[in-house]
Structure 1
């Protein structure tokens, strides 16, 4: 039973109940009690589970964290392992959190620590007992938290960092470069550090896992919000290319536009041509492209797709591999290709190998 003399916080109570519910489903296990350690100056686990395993006593020592991100999980695992090594060598350490990501689950397995999250994922092994349960969906709160890291304002910070993944950034520098407020940059900084995608050095914030960051961004990426317009152009080949580059040049007048998706990839890392040409543009940039490419609206047979995105940062994050060939950045092009069907995924993989390869 949970000791009434030292009641746990609500979250820890739920953790104890979830653990009990999991263990009681195993026929050879009998839960004799779930106790909390008395408060002391020394570190102690939040829960100690007294078990009978087919009649033999066994202990689980458990640490609960309200945040299961790698930054917090790693310290909890170290404390658990230290406690077991010095005070309960025959016990099994278990990490508990509201949600434990696949990366943290792998870390637990590598360290020999069991885990349980309140979403239903679990892996606990000791003696002849092996419990493993996987839940397909992330909790809604976790999905919202991750998506917030890739929303337009945050994405401007991430794109700046991924352009120079080895650079150490001060918060003020990131704010100035990305055009995002100091407070928002600080939130992104916290999110990156919590997931161990970045770390702090004496010189500032440095990406430590750009590949993991880009993987997570790709997996949660959706089509940018905005107006998607289909047109037909009678221009082809080098004539179309020359006209487009003339319209995209910075000195061609007000308005911004850029090659995007497959069209940007042809300049950044050629892989497979398509019969359709893709652009991002603001309203003035759209008018320039309409005039330069002799575009006419088309509900069928469109060969030019122009997206006018709500996120102006997409048009600020561009590269120019050749005069006038203004393209969405390699990161943005990769993300757009990744959701463009099977051929897009193949082109995205090629682009990543050529332009977005960083040391693991």
Structure 2
């Protein structure tokens, strides 16, 4: 049985990856420090013999006993609320954490895939964004702690590949959604659905003409799975190229939820990107991958998930004291 380590295992994408690799009959070692992850996302896996969980922070030395065939590095705060609250740890998890895991992969002779992000493109001057575009990122803006951390992570990964001959893969992940997203993590889909279910107006930042492209979680997992087992070492965009403005998307959510709210506008956050649309030519040609789930189908599944939450969960505000769980 092949053994795989998945960091960020209790998070949104990480937990779905655990499900996929358990289903594929891997022995899955999930690792998470639970700063932003939630054990409820993976508790259904605990009774299984081919799943184990390690409560650990990857910015500290990572030890795994026995052989290890693959590593998926998905540990990282991924929403603006998270990385603005814990900026230093965000930088550390993609630098020290990545270094620790690349070292582990080298020691175990394992293949490693790191989760990068479309945020490496910053506020892009090229549209849509292809992998050979180097981005437009401010190193000193509040968002820079996430954007630059991921850019450094890619550089270190390629350095290990070139210098040590390590088998590496890089997934540039665009906006992904689906069940298990945190309701109040600041990302647009849970924010809109949560507001609608609570009877609140939908908050749009800026004038709503900025665009995003949303990929359903099952499509994202399939793309990551194919990339891991491909022979391609340079970054690959994994996302849905169907672009929509935030204002149009808010209108879709209001129609889906039929809750009668209106849109209210707030100032646009600093350096918030105005356009997001992946060029997935590389993924299509190399991985023979493209998204299958329409936004209408995916949003219905996501809405049904959030609608199933208890009133207590629905009305709970994000209150985690992240800083109490991390070392300086």
Q: Scaled by the length of structure 2, what TM-score is found?
A: 0.27
Task: Kindly indicate which of the two structures has a greater share of residues assigned to strand.
Answer: 1
Q: Which has the higher contact order (CA 8 A, sep 6+)?
A: 2
- Rg larger in 1 or in 2? 1
